[in-house]
Amino acid sequence: MIRSKRHRIVLPILALAAFAMLAAGCGSDGGSPASGGDSSDGAGAESRRVEDNGRTYTIEDIKATGAKTPKQYDVTDLPGATGAWNALLDQKEYEVRFYSSHSDAVEMGTSWAESVTGEDGIVVGDEVIWEEGAKDRRQCNRSVAHSGCNYTARYGDFVILGNMILMCEGPNSEEALAVCDNMITKFS
């Protein structure tokens, strides 16, 4: 096979970049929950941050950060949840879900939060598993090519902290987790 001069240069650069990304993904900073401090089972740790800090959070903890809580959702159809709110802090949106315990949040809430966050979050259509507040979980991204709306997930990732699931606005996991950290650092 004949390779051009360009292939001899580009392929080693791509290999080095892939190795660097893999090495960076293997590191651990052991910091805050949103930076990967503790994962409950290690599975999917890069997209989900889980910490049982022994605290039981309430909506009052969210309000104490300075966040506005304009909407409370009906959690009748959200298994195990004791409450859920839309929250706004520093011009970013959050969805906060509360459970009776950390184990309830992990066992009953994880798959429901995963389904609506990240690049593959399901935010429109018949596959949306919890309709309450669904319009708040999506955002319109208009393409230059056409005037229609391409709905994507508003929340790039989430954190499970104590009995709370905190879904945070961001176009990707990294930025969403930084938004989560912004609120978490304000807890007293």
Q: One digit per residue, pLDDT tens: the chain, 188 residues?
A: 444 444 444 444 444 444 444 444 444 444 445 544 444 444 444 445 899 999 999 999 999 999 999 999 999 999 999 999 999 999 999 999 999 999 999 999 999 999 999 888 877 788 888 899 889 888 887 655 556 777 788 999 999 999 999 999 999 999 999 999 999 999 86
Q: How far apart are CA 104 and CA 85, in angstroms?
A: 18
Taking CA 33 as the corner, what is the angle to CA 163 and CA 181, rounded to the nearest 5 degrees? 100
Q: How far apart are CA 173 and CA 175, in angstroms?
A: 6
DSSP H or E segment with residue 107: none
